[in-house]
Amino acid sequence: MSVSASFKSGFVAIIGKPNTGKSTLMNHILGEKLSITSPKPQTTRYAIKGIWNGSDHQIVFIDTPGYLKPRYEMQERMLKIWNDAFKDVDLIIFLTQIAGFPSEYDLEVLQHLKYLKNTQLAVFNKLDLSPEADLASLQKHLPDSISASLMISARTGENIPQLLDLIKHYIPFHEPYYEEDQLSDLPMRFFAREIIREAIFHQFEQEIPYATAVLIERFKESPEKVVIDAVIWLERQSQKLILIGKNGSKLKQIREYAEAELTRFLQQPVQVHLFVKVNPNWRKKGTALKELGFDS
């Protein structure tokens, strides 16, 4: 790929507390749903790269798990992913929501940023819910490490063009890191797993979504369709009964949601087979977490 000397390319980490709209923002910019979303916090467990390609730029966004105080082994590894996201990135976007800023979580995240040398932007999300918000009053709580700030709505797209201009301003001149038609560096098996997990988040409240993990045992592609065999882990037998539902009704809804979303994402028919197993305390087991792709 031949590019001009004015081409810009770099890495942007999107960080903040859980449920502030990090995944929604990245998905909006890319025009494709790479990161799963739900109204529940801690939906994102991994660092997910999404690549925004243009005629004069290639910007790699990294959607991170929300900053949290770990309570068990899996959350320890999620925090490591969060910390690692700062390494070698050209820009950090601190994303928070306007209402309730600054919360204790916001201040704790900003405290981390004070000591980093990366260029930083503060982006206040959910402007559609707080249209009368005053940016100057919000800026009073930001550390000197923040170079610029603005208010947006990741859901409606308000002020997203201004944000993109600001991002491009701070990205260095560099040749692209990936192919020009590449949307992510992750395999399709990863997105299949995440979409099935999203289906669970949309179907259940409270403990069930957090007690589940998904493994892809088969991902078979043919010209006619993609066939996926997936195992859903749960921690207790009682959770298994709830997830399957009466006569398998809940599991059917999960499968139908996943098939519809994956068919749209892969642009060909997808058939999903789901199996449910109990793996007690998998969130605290190093071997189980390694199987799920969490580094030690």
283's tokens: 């969130």
Which pLDDT value is given to residue 64?
Answer: 75
CA distances from 156 to 29, 125, 168, 187, 233 (A): 12, 10, 21, 29, 35
Which pLDDT value is given to residue 205?
Answer: 73
- Average pLDDT in the chain: 85
Which pLDDT value is given to residue 65?
Answer: 67
pLDDT bucket at 196, cuts 50 / 70 / 90: very high
Select, from the ranges 4-8, 134-138, 185-189, 201-205, the one with the highest average predicted confidence (pLDDT).
Answer: 134-138
Which tens digits make up the pLDDT trace of 42-74?
Answer: 455 556 788 999 999 999 998 776 555 655 555
Higher pLDDT, 92 or 191: 92
Tokens 């997808």, residue located: 270
Query: Per-residue pLDDT averaged across 147-172, rounded?
Result: 95
Segment among 76-85, 107-116, 157-166, 172-181 with least mean pLDDT: 76-85
List of domains in the chain: 8-170 (3.40.50.300), 188-291 (3.30.300.20)
Please list the residues that pair with 123 across neighbouring strands: 95, 150
153-157 contact pairs (CB < 8 A, 24+) = 153/125, 153/126, 153/127, 153/128, 153/129, 154/21, 154/24, 154/25, 154/28, 154/125, 154/126, 155/21, 155/24, 155/28, 155/126, 155/128, 156/128, 157/28
pLDDT bucket at 41, cuts 50 / 70 / 90: very low
Sequence length of the chain is 296
Distance of CA 248 to the CA centre of its chain: 29
Which tens digits make up the pLDDT trace of 250-294?
Answer: 999 999 999 999 999 888 999 999 999 998 888 777 777 677 766
Which pLDDT value is given to residue 69?
Answer: 60
Other C-beta atoms closer than 10 Å to the C-beta of 78 total: 21
Which pLDDT value is given to residue 40?
Answer: 45
Percent of the chain surpassing pLDDT 90: 49
Which pLDDT value is given to residue 221?
Answer: 92
Q: Is 207 helix (H, G, I), strand (E, B) or coil?
A: helix
Which tens digits make up the pLDDT trace of 199-245?
Answer: 898 888 767 777 888 999 999 999 999 999 999 988 899 999 999 99
Which tens digits make up the pLDDT trace of 79-131?
Answer: 566 566 667 789 999 999 999 999 988 898 898 888 888 899 999 999 999 99
pLDDT bucket at 38, cuts 50 / 70 / 90: very low
Higher pLDDT, 18 or 136: 136
DSSP states of 228-285: EEEEEEESSHHHHHHHH-GGGHHHHHHHHHHHHHHHHHHTS-EEEEEEEEE-TTGGG-
Which tens digits make up the pLDDT trace of 1-30?
Answer: 567 889 999 999 988 877 788 888 988 998
The runs of H, that is alpha helices, within 86-175 are 104-113, 135-139, 160-170
- Nearest C-alpha neighbor of 179 from the set 4, 58, 89: 58
